[in-house]
Amino acid sequence: MRILHTAAEIFPWVKVGGLGDVLAALPEALRAIELDARVLLPAYPALKRAFPQAKAVAGLEDLLGTGPATFLRDLTPSGVPIYLLDAPSLFDRPGGPYDDRGDSHLRFGAFSLAAAWFARHGDEDGWEPEILNCHDWQTALTPVYLKVWGGSRPRTVMTIHNLAYQGLYGPEVLPSLHLPPELMAMDGLEFYGRVNFLKGGLQVADALTTVSPTYAKEIQEPAFGEGLDGLLRHRSQALTGILNGVDHRVWNPATSPHLPHPFSLADLSGKARCKRELQREMGLEERRDLPLFVVVSRLVAQKGLDLMLAAVDRLVHEGGQLAVLGAGEAGLESGFGEAAGRHPGRVAVKVGYDEGLAHRFMGGGDALVVPSRFEPCGLTQLYALAYGALPVVRRTGGLADTVVEGETGFFFEAVDAHALGDALARACHLFFHDPLAWKRMGLQAMAQDFGWIPSAQRYRDLYRSL
Which region holds residue 150: left if phi is over 0, alpha if psi is between -120 and 50, else beta?
A: left
Q: Do 161 and 215 contact (CB within 8 A), yes or no? A: no
CA 419/CA 422 separation, integer angstroms: 5
C-alpha count within 13 angstroms, C-beta hemisphere, residue 80? 26
Q: Do 139 and 115 contact (CB within 8 A), yes or no? A: yes
Sign of CA dihedral 415, 421, 426, 432: positive
Specify the amino acid at residue 194: R
- Cβ contacts of residue 157 below 8 Å, gap of 6+? 131, 132, 133, 134, 205, 206, 207, 208, 209, 462, 463, 466
Cα(first)–Cα(last) distance of the chain, in Å?
A: 11
Report all structural domains of the chain as residue ranges with CATH numbers, in order of start: 2-245+453-465 (3.40.50.2000), 269-447 (3.40.50.2000)
Strands, E, within 31-185: which ranges?
36-42, 55-60, 69-75, 81-86, 131-135, 155-160, 168-169
CA 277/CA 24 separation, integer angstroms: 30
Task: Give the model's pLDDT for residue 100.
Answer: 84
Closest of 5, 465, 1 to residue 237, by C-alpha:
465
Q: Do 271 and 254 contact (CB within 8 A), yes or no? A: no
Q: Do 398 and 387 contact (CB within 8 A), yes or no? A: no
Say what angle helices 355-364 and 269-282 make with each other, to 10 degrees: 120
- Cβ contacts of residue 435 below 8 Å, gap of 6+? none
- Cβ contacts of residue 76 below 8 Å, gap of 6+? 24, 28, 39, 82
Tell me the pLDDT of the chain (466 aa) as tens digits: 999 999 999 999 998 888 999 999 999 999 999 999 999 999 999 999 999 999 999 999 999 999 999 999 999 999 999 999 999 999 998 888 998 889 999 999 999 999 999 999 999 999 999 999 999 999 999 999 999 999 999 999 999 999 999 999 999 999 999 999 999 999 999 999 999 999 999 999 999 999 999 999 999 999 999 999 999 999 999 999 999 999 888 899 999 999 999 999 999 999 999 999 999 999 999 999 999 999 999 999 999 999 999 999 999 999 999 999 999 999 999 999 999 999 999 999 999 989 899 999 999 999 999 999 999 999 999 999 999 999 999 999 999 999 999 999 999 999 999 999 999 999 999 999 999 999 999 999 999 989 999 999 999 999 999 9
